[in-house]
């Protein structure tokens, strides 16, 4: 019997690939990624967190820290559950 997959028990690289394709299918992501790598400023990370707040994936707790909401965790766990793991050779 296959166990349920959650965000906690999968590699970040694998999850980002699957989650970005999920956002593309659901129409929640606009634009495209640039074809080059560069370090970003903290303003970009701040903007991303604000967008995640608008999507109700991240919330601000009373201390001012951001945390994943229950609905956000549910969505992330659903995306993680869709990943098919290839058997080890």
With a cut of 60, say whether residue 1 has pLDDT above it: no
Residue 46: band (very low, low, confident or very high) from pLDDT cuts 50, 70, 90: confident
For the stretch 23-46, what's the b/e string if a residue is b when 16 or more beta carbons lie within 10 angstroms of its beta carbon? eeeeeeeeeeeeeeeeeeeeeeee
Residue 34 makes CB contacts below 8 A (sequence gap 6+) with none
Question: Which of 45, 68, 46 has its CA nearest to residue 57?
Answer: 68
Place of tokens 């495209």: 32
Q: What is the pLDDT of residues 7-33, one digit of tens each?
A: 777 787 888 888 888 777 776 655 666
Q: Where do the domains of the chain lie?
A: 1-26+46-89
pTM for the full predicted model: 0.47
d(CA 79, CA 82): 5
pLDDT at 17: 83
């Amino acid at each position: 019997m296959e166990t349920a997959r959650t965000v906690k028990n999968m590699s970040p690289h694998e999850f980002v690939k699957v989650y970005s394709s999920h956002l593309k299918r659901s129409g929640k992501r606009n634009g495209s990624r640039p074809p080059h790598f560069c370090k970003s400023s903290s303003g970009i990370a701040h903007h991303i967190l604000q967008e995640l707040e608008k999507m109700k994936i991240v919330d601000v707790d009373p201390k001012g820290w951001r945390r994943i909401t229950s609905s956000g965790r549910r969505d992330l766990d659903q995306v993680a559950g869709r990943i098919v793991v290839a058997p080890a050779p």
